Structures are given as structure tokens and as C-alpha cells.
Amino acid sequence: MLDSFYVAWRYLAFHKARTATLVACVTLLAALPLALQVLLEASERQLRARAEATPLLLGAKGSALDLVMNALYFADAMPAPISMAAQDQVDASALALPIPLYVRFQARGFPIVGTTLDYFDFRGLEIARGRPLAMLGEALVGAEVAARLGLTPGDGLLSSPETVFDLAGVYPLKLRVVGVLAPSRSPDDRAVFVDVKTAWVVEGLVHGHADLGRRADDSVIIEQTEGNTIASAKLAQYTEITEANIASFHFHGDPAGYPLNAVIVVAQDAKSGTLLRGRYLNGESPHQLVLPGAVIDGLLADVFRIKRVLDAVIGVVGLATLLALALVFTLSVRLRQREIHTLFRIGCSRFTIARLLGAEMAIIATASAGLCGAALTAVHASSDELVRRLFFG
Amino acid sequence: MRARALRFGHWPILLNPWLNGRQAGWMVVVPGTLLGVLLSTGLLGAVCAAAERPAVYAVNYPLQYFAERIAGEHAEVVLPVPPGMNPAFWQPDAAAIADLQRADLILLNGAGYAKWLDRVTLPRRKLVNTSAGFRDSYIETTEAPTHSHGREGAHSHAGTAFTTWLDFAQAAEQAQAVQDALAQLLPAQVPALRNNLDGLKRDLHDLDRRLAAMVAREPHMPLLASHPVYQYLARRYGLELSSVLWEPDALPSPAEWQALVALRETHPADWMLWEAEPLPATRRRLEALGIRSAVFAPCGNRPEHSRDPNQYSGQVPSQGQGHDRGRGRSLSQDRQDADFLSVMHANLERLAEVFGGAGGR
């Protein structure tokens, strides 16, 4: 038996290219659907864990999926904004703790998440280095952001303009990194956290500038009437918040009208949550209060429907590949007719020849299985990271 | 916070000199050690009890006073603003914000008070707006000029008047909000909190009644205010008040004097209310114009000679007890243990002179 495997091994080793092609075909055929299954399971696990840890989410009426993906995974899809008044309404109900989220801007490719300190307690995020947010203009970066951008407490991080063609847009704001979060293996690792008011500074709704009453250059004033001063764009706004200028930062208009993407609603108990949900069920409310778990279940149902189609496609492709492999093998045997005839003439029985060919197939199958196992182990080990990059990155 | 700084590990260090002096023999050391252990245990108990007290931070002195009166010894009430500084315009540094973030409860005045709140990050679940119950009654201020950036529209940095506690009925509502918040923090102490709140409300009601009676003697008397901080006082008690923007520690400019003369043509006031004692030169020049000065201190920060909050210890001074200078307490006594109530009583006595009475009792 071992002799057969030895001869088969020598034969395959001699025909390296053909053997490698056969092994690759069989490996891909087996690994592809299994790797897809591993990734889907990881994505399902991640999506569900994050969604189930977020009891209720308040946002504008519209796509619940966009709302959940933006608020939970900081995805680029932006739901319609809601105002701070919506959050205040939840707060005034005394039924839940509202945690605002404003995810619109980016800093060097990572989302800037405007929120409050309650978010860190709610998600159980720990600070590995530095301190919590304390003042306007400060940022707390996720572990991956810190690693990839080489940030440590005390560094600066510039917000990115929404579009490079928006020449009249707001100035980028230089954020001061005050802390780095410990890894949480969640989208929080890839986020730059700021106070929601700082997010409004990035947007230009809150800003600071020189005192118009003590200006050195009168040309910054377009018009001045009793009780109203109209300044030109020449009036420079501060692009970094420092101890020297922080007192000049101010809100324009009523903060109750300032935008948010979503509000995480942490109900005091199940009854409070039900009561709150009832308030947003009527058709007149411009807001929706969704259960992220239910939204993600809907998404996963769609994903698994697609997966079933994919499985069928892979099955058909796999069958075709197997048939092709069988054909290749049959043709290969036909091409090896002279070689097989020589073996027969030197005394090998038909059974021995069949055993030699079987040993070749077994070696190819074993090599493919080994490679497939190694590939799946690698995919499984990095599935969380791969899913984050593929789906939320 | 001081109580939190003392930990169990500190006690052996504190007791070391005492033990070192008794190394002569076992007869001394053993009882000494036992006594030390007992003492440590007792002191440790006291420290633990103190450390368990929740830390309540207030953004101004009236709220600190209310919280101290209501919580008594059951909470450690802190006003983080340094003495002599107006809490409305204080800007905390990172260390002060860190202290605030560690607090169990942060009492806000609301009505746009303490603009620094817009520039710091605090945990929302610990914030309590004590004036939220009457937010619909906030007074919009229009004194601050507006400005625009480009031509997209004007805006103003003016907001709402924020010295809400000068309307003593509103102050009582704020005290109620403080008690509600403390009750959630100290559910086991609710009866004591309610009892203390009742005493405080009685005192505030007494102030309210006296001031209303005082103004009722001359309801249409025109008055001037050196600063626009008396909006709620004027609304509640029907004062005919017109404000200028003068600082007590600065001489008004010639233009400001001219504006005052022009204002008096339509508002013939003979008295000006000040937040603090004006400069003698200002006072003299006002008197030359026929305007007398009276101080009505809003008491936003703690008085310089403030009462030790620990002296309450559950015994809350009730109406007419301990705060009433009008009943035989001297000015020097008030200065020694001034608090919100004594400052307000002193304000009323000065206002009584304005309205030509004897304090409205």
C-alpha cells in the first residue's frame, strides 16, 4: 500500500504544475463556501451582539437600516437628521437615558462620533491611555485609530472636509487627542469620539472668533446697525480650540434645533421602553423608535436569503468543476495510456494500477483538505476583523 | 472631596509618632496598640461613613445652599467655583472638570446660567436642571447686541436672564427640584430631606412675603439697576426697573453718565440697585444727580464669610432662627456667618429703606 502512495507521490511531484492546479481547484471548491459560511456567522454574531446591546434607537422616519448601521456601526449611510429637541423629549419623559449620536464627519478616514460621556459607560469602554473628554475640541480615539495613525494623548488630529470641492465650507478643526480607548473588538475601535458639541464645532454651528466689539480691523464689518453687526468672511474663525480662545466659542441659535443622527434610548425598565415605543407609533411623529435587534434580524434574513442563492450558485459551479476535474482526470488517464500499458507489461495487475491512480487522487484530496483547513483556520481567526473591514470599514 | 482623600492606609502613618513614643515596655505598648486599633477602627468607621456620602456639585451658591440645607450631613455639597468669582462666567480647567465628572449629582441652574457648560463634557445622567419646571417662564434678554457672519442672517449671543433665584417663589421650585434629585440619590433619607425642604421653603416664602409687602407700599416707584440681573426680581414683585450696564468696581464713562441722564428723563428713578457696593466716587456723583445707591446682592457665589455647612448637621434653621438680622442680629454677626438667607435678609433691609419702610415684617 505504501509503495503505491510512494509511486503516486513521485508521479505527482514530477508533474508539479498539473498537481498544483488540481490541488488549487479542489481547495477553492471546498474552501469558498465554507469560508463564506464562517464570515457570515462572524458578521451575524457581530451584528447581533451590537444590536442586542443597544435596546432602542431613536431617529428620523425613513430607512431603519440606515439608522441602525450609522448609529451602531458608524457606516457612511446617513439617515435624515433629527434635532436635539427629540433627545430632550426623551429626557423629559424620565423613562430613559438618551445618548445622542452625531456621526457625519471623518478624520483621516475614520468616523468622528459626537456623543456624551454616557456612551462610554453604556458600551463599557475603558480608557487605556490618557483621560476622558473634558473640554470642547478634545477627542478620544479608538484602539485601531491610535495604532494606524500612531496617535497618543497630546497629539493633534485634523477633521477632514466633507468634500474637497466645498471651498466655502467650514474650516477643518484640529482636535486634541486626550485619550486612547482599550481595544473592544467592535466598531468603537475604529472611531474618533468627541463631545457632540465638538461635532457641531466641526460643522460650524458652534464657533469661536475674535470679539467684534474689540476688532483691530474695521474691514471685517460689512454693516453695523444698532444691536446688529454683520461681519464679512474675512472674520477668521478659530480652527483649534485652546485655553486662550475656548471662552469665545458660542452656539448660534437654539441648541434644541441642532442636528443629531440618532439617540440611543436606554429605558429604565421594560415597561418604560414599551411606554416610549408607544409614543412613537402614531403616524404624526416625525421620529421612529426602533429595536436594533429586530432591524438586524431583518437584515440577516435578507443576507441569508442571498446566501441561499449563493450556495446554489456555488453548488452548481462546484458540480461543474467536479465534472471538469473528472474529465481532466479521465483525459489524463487516456494520455497516460502508454505509461499504464508499460506498467501492465512489467507485471502490474489492473488492481495495482487502479490503486496507484487512487493513491494519486487521495494525495491530491488530502493536500486540498489540509490547505482548505489552514485557510479556514486563518479566516476564522481573523473573521471578526475581516467582517469589520468588509462590512463596516 | 476632602473626606474621600483620607483612606484607610493613611491611619498607620498618622498614628506612627504616637506609637513611637511608647516603646519603653510591653505594659505600655500593648494597651497603647489596642487603644490605637480601637481608635483607628472608630475613626475608620467615621471616614468610611464620610466617604460614602455622595458628592453633589452645584453651579452656583444658591443651589449649593439649597442642597446643603436639604441634604444636611447626608451629602457632600461642593461649589467648584473659586471665591470672589462670578459662577456664571467661570471657566473650569481640566482638573475641575474631572472633579465634576466624578460627582454623583450636578445641580444646574438652567436658563442659560454658567455658559461654561456649553464648553465642557459632563455625564448627562448626572445633570439636573433645577429650573426646568418653569422653563416656559424664562425671561429672554435683548440687551446684548446681535451680529452676523456674512449675510445669512443675524443672530444674537443674548439668551435668557439667569438669576432665577431672585424670584423667591422660583427659588422654592428650584429647591424642590434639588430635593427630588437628592431623593433619588439618597432614597433612605427621604423623610429627612422632605423635612429640611419644608424648613427651607418656609424661609423662602417668608422672604417672598416680606418683599411683596414692601413693594406694595409704593408699587410704581421707578428704580434703576446697575446691571441687568434683576429681571426675575422685577417681574415677581412688580418693580419698575430699568437697567444700565455699569460695574460696581469701575467708574462709568462720560457717555454712560449722559445715557443715564437721558434715561432719567423717561424713567425718573431716585434709587439705583447695585450687585455690590459701588465705588465712592460713583456713589457721590450719583447722589449729586439725586440718585441714591442700594446694594441688592444676587449672591451667585458664596459670601466671603460664609457659614460652615457642617454646622447644619440635620438641624435646619427654621423661620426666624439664626438667619434673621432684623431680629437683633448685628452686621458683624452676619459677616461672620453669612449665608444665602442672611444675605437676602440684608438685601431686603436695604430695599426697605428704598421703599421707605422697616423691612416689611
Cβ–Cβ below 8 Å for B147 and A230 = yes
Chain A touched by B153 (CB under 8 Å) = no
Rounded to an integer, the average pLDDT of A220-241 is: 64
Contact A392, A75 (CB under 8 A): yes
Rounded to an integer, the average pLDDT of A244-260 is: 82
Cβ–Cβ below 8 Å for B150 and A229 = no
Rounded mean pLDDT of chain B? 79
- d(CA A372, CA A318) in angstroms, rounded, equals 15
Rounded to an integer, the average pLDDT of A169-173 is: 74
Q: Tell me the residue type at B343.
A: V
In the predicted model, is pLDDT for residue B354 greater than 60? yes
Q: Where are the domains of chain A?
A: 2-46+300-392, 56-208+249-290
- d(CA B197, CA B179) in angstroms, rounded, equals 7
Contact A235, A212 (CB under 8 A): yes
CA dist B34 → A383, B8, B10 (Å) = 62, 17, 18
Per-residue confidence at A363, pLDDT binned at 50, 70, 90? very high
Q: Tell me the residue type at A25.
A: C
In the predicted model, is pLDDT for residue B24 greater than 60? no
Q: Tell me the residue type at A176.
A: R
Chain A touched by B155 (CB under 8 Å) = yes
DSSP-derived secondary structure letter, B140: B
Closest chain A C-alpha to B120 CA, distance in angstroms:
4
Cβ–Cβ below 8 Å for B124 and A252 = no
Rounded to an integer, the average pLDDT of B325-342 is: 56
Cβ–Cβ below 8 Å for A117 and B97 = no
Residue with more model confidence, B96 or A229: B96
* B118 contact residues in A (CB cutoff 8 A): 136, 197, 206, 249-251, 255
Burial class (CB in 10 A: 0-12, 13-18, 19+), A382: middle
* A250 contact residues in B (CB cutoff 8 A): 115, 118, 157
- Cell representation of residue A376: 479556514
Chain A touched by B119 (CB under 8 Å) = yes
Cβ–Cβ below 8 Å for B119 and A247 = yes
- Cell representation of residue A338: 502508454
In chain B, the residue whose alpha carbon lies closest to the alpha carbon of A99 is B124
pLDDT digits (tens, 9 = 90+) for B143-193: 554 444 444 444 444 578 999 999 999 999 999 999 999 999 999 999 999
Per-residue pLDDT, B139: 93
With b for 16 or more beta-carbon neighbours within 10 A and e for fewer, the A326-337 pattern comes to eeeeeeeeeeee
* A233 contact residues in B (CB cutoff 8 A): 149-150
pLDDT digits (tens, 9 = 90+) for B282-297: 999 999 999 999 999 9
Q: Tell me the residue type at A205.
A: L
Chain A touched by B220 (CB under 8 Å) = no
Per-residue pLDDT, B341: 95
Question: Of 3.30.460.10, 3.90.110.10, 3.40.50.1390, 3.40.50.1980, which CATH number belongs to B55-140+157-204?
Answer: 3.40.50.1980
Chain B touched by A212 (CB under 8 Å) = yes
Residue with more model confidence, B12 or B345: B345
Q: Work out how many CB contacts closer than 8 A connect A with B.
A: 87
Per-residue pLDDT, A169: 61
Q: Give all strands (DSSP E) within A121-274, no chain letters.
A: 127-130, 138-141, 156-158, 174-181, 192-195, 206-207, 221-225, 228-231, 250-251, 259-260, 262-267
Rounded mean pLDDT of chain A? 86
Count Cβ atoms below 10 Å from residue B293 Cβ, excluding itself.
20
Per-residue pLDDT, B132: 92
Closest chain B C-alpha to A386 CA, distance in angstroms:
34
Label the pairing between strands A262-267 and B146-149: unpaired
Percent of chain B with pLDDT over 90: 57
Cβ–Cβ below 8 Å for A206 and B118 = yes
Residue with more model confidence, B310 or A303: A303
Cβ–Cβ below 8 Å for B125 and A118 = yes
Half-sphere exposure of A237 (CA within 13 A, CB side): 23
Chain B touched by A388 (CB under 8 Å) = no
Complex ipTM tops 0.90: no
At residue B113's C-alpha, the angle toward residues B152 and B301, to 5°, is 145
Task: Identify which of B344, B349, B221 has the alpha carbon closest to the alpha carbon of residue B291.
Answer: B221
Per-residue pLDDT, B323: 35
In the predicted model, is pLDDT for residue A218 greater than 70? no
pLDDT digits (tens, 9 = 90+) for A62-114: 999 999 999 999 988 889 999 999 998 998 888 999 999 999 999 999 999 99
* A195 contact residues in B (CB cutoff 8 A): 121
Cβ–Cβ below 8 Å for A227 and B97 = no
- d(CA B5, CA B352) in angstroms, rounded, equals 46
Q: Which residues pair with B120 in a beta bridge?
A: A135
The answer for residues whose C-beta is within 8 angstroms of residue B183's C-beta and 6 or more apart is B189, B190, B193
Q: Tell me the residue type at A320.
A: A
Contact B169, B236 (CB under 8 A): yes
For residue A117, give the nearest of B123, B145, B148 by CB distance.
B123
Task: Identify which of B158, B170, B202, B196 has the alpha carbon closest to the alpha carbon of residue B62.
Answer: B170
Per-residue pLDDT, A170: 66
Lowest-pLDDT range of A18-22, A257-261, B317-321: B317-321
Rounded to an integer, the average pLDDT of B230-251 is: 92
Label the pairing between strands A206-207 and A250-251: antiparallel
- Which range has highest mean pLDDT (A201-215, A228-242, B20-34, B197-211)? B197-211
Rounded to an integer, the average pLDDT of A267-271 is: 91
The answer for residues whose C-beta is within 8 angstroms of residue B43's C-beta and 6 or more apart is B11
Label the pairing between strands A206-207 and A259-260: unpaired
CA dist B217 → A154, A174, B277 (Å) = 63, 60, 25
Instruction: Using DSSP, state whether B281 is helix, strand or coil.
Output: helix
The answer for residues whose C-beta is within 8 angstroms of residue B65's C-beta and 6 or more apart is B339, B340, B341
Per-residue pLDDT, B65: 97
In chain B, the residue whose alpha carbon lies closest to the alpha carbon of A94 is B125
Chain A touched by B152 (CB under 8 Å) = no
Per-residue pLDDT, A86: 93
Closest chain A C-alpha to B151 CA, distance in angstroms:
7
For residue A228, give the nearest of B91, B94, B148 by CB distance.
B148
Lowest-pLDDT range of A332-341, B20-29, B165-174, B238-247: B20-29
Rounded to an integer, the average pLDDT of A213-241 is: 63
Burial class (CB in 10 A: 0-12, 13-18, 19+), B66: buried
Q: Where are the domains of chain B?
A: 2-51, 55-140+157-204, 207-354
* B115 contact residues in A (CB cutoff 8 A): 250
Percent of chain A with pLDDT over 70: 89
Task: Identify which of A296, A279, A288, A283 has the alpha carbon closest to the alpha carbon of residue A261.
Answer: A288
Topology, domain B207-354: Rossmann fold (3.40.50)
Rounded to an integer, the average pLDDT of B75-90 is: 91
For residue A253, give the nearest of B98, B148, B155 by CB distance.
B155
* B183 contact residues in A (CB cutoff 8 A): none
Cβ–Cβ below 8 Å for B97 and A232 = no
In chain B, the residue whose alpha carbon lies closest to the alpha carbon of A230 is B148
For residue A135, give the nearest of B119, B149, B157 by CB distance.
B119
Closest chain A C-alpha to B123 CA, distance in angstroms:
5
* A91 contact residues in B (CB cutoff 8 A): 124
Identical fold, B55-140+157-204 and B207-354: yes
Greatest extent of chain B over all pairs of C-alpha atoms, in Å: 90
Per-residue pLDDT, B5: 37
Label the pairing between strands B271-274 and B292-295: parallel
In the predicted model, is pLDDT for residue B220 greater than 90? no
Chain A touched by B123 (CB under 8 Å) = yes
pLDDT digits (tens, 9 = 90+) for B268-282: 999 999 999 999 999
Chain B touched by A169 (CB under 8 Å) = no
Cβ–Cβ below 8 Å for B119 and A132 = no
Instruction: Using DSSP, state whether A306 is helix, strand or coil.
Output: helix
Which of B93, B102, B149 to mutate: most A Cβ within 10 Å?
Answer: B149
Label the pairing between strands B271-274 and B222-225: parallel
